[in-house]
């Protein structure tokens, strides 16, 4: 008896054999958006029947990162807790002659280069099967695949057709308590009343197998939609050689969840128009599978950096300071807020804050004295500039020690010189020890009068 599907119900079904991949997270997001747009349910199903490769630490990573991204599920399942359910359906297929035990030596049961099984064990008699089992011969369970055309309408790719003769009798379980991927997926999708299967196009070859199983079990067929793959800049499938691939890696580098969500949404989907910054609520409102492209989506790290910078600049100084605490664990609240206020407009990712602002947390800076020189300055000219800076800054009171005042006093002095870099460059290097940094007035304010003067004195000692 089939179930009538009345509500939109979608799922994301990762295997806990590695950290949450950016591609899996993108699939989760598209399913989530589709469910919320259509007032449906979004289900998280951990596919952990491969006990040798599954690891609880990876399950935790998947759960933690989906929550961090704001992709919340309505229902949660683990395949490892559903073995009796799979066994019931395996027995049904065996009893009805839709599946059979195969005793042929198995170098590979699932995965690797696909090979069409010869069908040697397809018509073994009950006596032969019992005899082989009694002798302890190892077996797997194969589905008796009918020869036919398997066609379906993909929500993204349109009509897709496969010839089942090129599939053969595929394996569906290692034994009655160890189902393999294609079989367990079909049972779960039926039992959980999944209406739409939205996943990466790397699963396209699994779809005809799953449809054949659904037909054999008299299950309703969900609607399928296969998302374009995420590609590296060279248009090959995204992999570690292109850089980070897991959500955890991007999280550690200091990318914000809002930026990753916004970025992932545009990997293979485009609503049209000029708008490029989207909140989750706005994505739900505008999302449509009709706008998902068929071609591969290029992972552009510069684009992610740009979006992350946009969201960083939307944070208050207090919020940003807390987010940066991980990278400056020894800094107190006041120093953290000074650091982020200096670099909020320049940050592309939070992890940059430590290297950019290390000068704020050092008593003595180390740098080559040549860095102090602006163009062709001599040591004598450099010393004269530093003496002049020291004299001017000494006369500014603590109360007036603000960026605006410092700029108001020092800029006319710099403009009087042939090149204002002659004054401003040595000042900035003396205060930061860096070739590139925030402006000298902002830095001086953050350091305070006492530390600013001390660094100018130290710079003179370098000459």
> Could you list the active site residues?
240
Alpha-carbon separation of residue 13 from 198, 396, 430 (angstroms): 10, 64, 55
Distance CA 164, CA 149 (A): 6
Residue that has been written with the tokens 């370098």 in this structure: 462
DSSP assignment of 297-324, as one string?
Answer: EE--HHHHHHHHHHHHHTS-HHHHHHHH
C-alpha to C-alpha distance for 343 and 451, rounded to whole angstroms: 19
Q: Are 287 and 269 in contact (CB under 8 A)?
A: yes
DSSP-derived letter for residue 3 is: P
CA–CA distance, 139 with 400 (Å, rounded to integer): 85
CA 48 to chain centroid: 21
Exposure string for 21-56, b = 16+ CB within 10 A, e = fewer: bbbbbbbbbbbbbbbbbbebbbbbbbbbbbeeebee
């Amino acid at each position: 008896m089939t179930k009538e599907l009345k509500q939109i119900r979608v799922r994301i079904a990762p295997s806990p054999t590695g950290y949450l991949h950016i591609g899996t997270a993108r699939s989760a997001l598209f399913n989530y958006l589709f469910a919320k747009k259509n007032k449906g349910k979004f289900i998280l199903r951990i596919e952990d029947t491969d006990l040798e490769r599954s690891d609880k630490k990876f399950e935790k990573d998947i759960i933690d990162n989906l929550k961090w991204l704001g992709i919340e599920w309505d229902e949660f399942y683990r395949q490892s807790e559903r073995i009796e359910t799979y066994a019931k359906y395996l027995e049904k297929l065996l009893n009805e002659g839709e599946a059979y035990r195969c005793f042929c030596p198995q170098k590979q049961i699932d995965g690797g280069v696909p090979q069409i099984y010869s069908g040697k064990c397809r018509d073994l008699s009950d006596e032969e099967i019992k005899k082989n089992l009694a002798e302890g011969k190892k077996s797997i369970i194969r589905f008796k695949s009918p020869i036919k055309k398997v066609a379906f309408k993909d929500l993204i790719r349109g009509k897709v057709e496969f010839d089942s003769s090129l599939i053969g009798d595929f394996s569906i379980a290692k034994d009655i308590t160890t189902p393999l991927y294609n079989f367990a997926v079909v049972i779960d999708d039926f039992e959980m009343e999944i209406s739409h299967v939205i996943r990466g196009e790397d699963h396209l070859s699994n779809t005809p197998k799953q449809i054949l199983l659904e037909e054999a079990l008299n299950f309703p067929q969900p609607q399928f939609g296969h998302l374009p793959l995420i590609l590296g800049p060279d248009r090959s499938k995204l992999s570690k050689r292109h850089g980070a691939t897991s959500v955890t890696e991007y999280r550690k580098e200091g990318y914000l969840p809002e930026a990753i969500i916004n970025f992932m949404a545009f990997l293979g989907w485009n609503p049209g128009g000029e708008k490029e910054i989207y909140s989750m609520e706005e994505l739900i409102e505008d999302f449509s599978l009709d706008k998902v492209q068929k071609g591969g989506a290029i992972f552009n790290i510069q684009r992610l950096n740009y979006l992350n910078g946009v969201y960083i600049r939307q944070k208050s100084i207090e919020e940003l300071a807390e987010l940066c605490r991980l990278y400056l664990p020894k800094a107190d609240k006041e120093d953290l807020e000074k650091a982020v206020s200096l670099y909020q407009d320049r940050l592309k990712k939070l992890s940059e804050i430590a290297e950019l602002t290390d000068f704020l947390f050092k008593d003595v800076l180390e740098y080559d004295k040549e860095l102090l020189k602006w163009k062709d300055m001599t040591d004598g000219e450099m010393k004269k500039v530093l003496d002049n800076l020291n004299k001017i800054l000494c006369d500014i009171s603590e109360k007036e020690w603000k960026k605006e005042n410092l700029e108001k006093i020092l800029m006319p002095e710099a403009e009087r010189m042939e090149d204002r870099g002659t004054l401003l460059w040595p000042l900035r290097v003396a205060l930061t020890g860096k070739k590139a940094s925030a402006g000298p007035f902002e830095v001086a304010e953050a350091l305070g009068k006492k530390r600013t003067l001390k660094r100018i004195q130290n710079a003179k000692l370098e000459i």
